[in-house]
């Protein structure tokens, strides 16, 4: 038997492997783009609430610190 006229030795397994690597490549590219967009839009800020004064206000609002502690820490932050 002569085979197909355009048979270059490709098999089903090489096609499946090729598709796998193509999908893997695009997943990596899309993930990198999403990561880059998130990094650029956050502006380097932490995801833990922002600036120190905002964190202090949140702690005071939750009752974790007293008014006296709040005022003392606020003075330290504003130095």
Query: 79 and 51, same structural domain?
Result: yes
**By the 8 A CB rule, do 71 and 46 touch?**
no
Residue 20 belongs to domain spanning? 11-44
**pLDDT at residue number 5:** 60
Mean pLDDT by 10 residues, the chain (79 residues): 59 84 97 93 61 91 94 88
Task: Quote the CA–CA distance of 30 and 35 in Å, as a whole number.
Answer: 9
Look at the chain and report how many structural domains it folds into.
Answer: 2
Query: 78 and 55, same structural domain?
Result: yes
**pLDDT at residue number 23:** 97
Give the tokens for residue 72.
């003392």
Question: pTM of the prediction?
Answer: 0.45
């Amino acid at each position: 038997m002569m085979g197909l006229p355009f048979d270059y030795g490709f098999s089903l397994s090489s096609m499946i492997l090729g598709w796998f690597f193509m999908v893997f490549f695009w997943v990596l590219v899309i993930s990198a783009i999403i990561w880059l967009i998130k990094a650029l839009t956050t502006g380097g800020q932490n995801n833990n609430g922002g600036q120190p004064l905002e964190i202090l206000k949140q702690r005071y609002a939750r009752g974790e610190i007293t008014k006296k502690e709040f005022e003392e820490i606020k003075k330290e932050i504003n130095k």
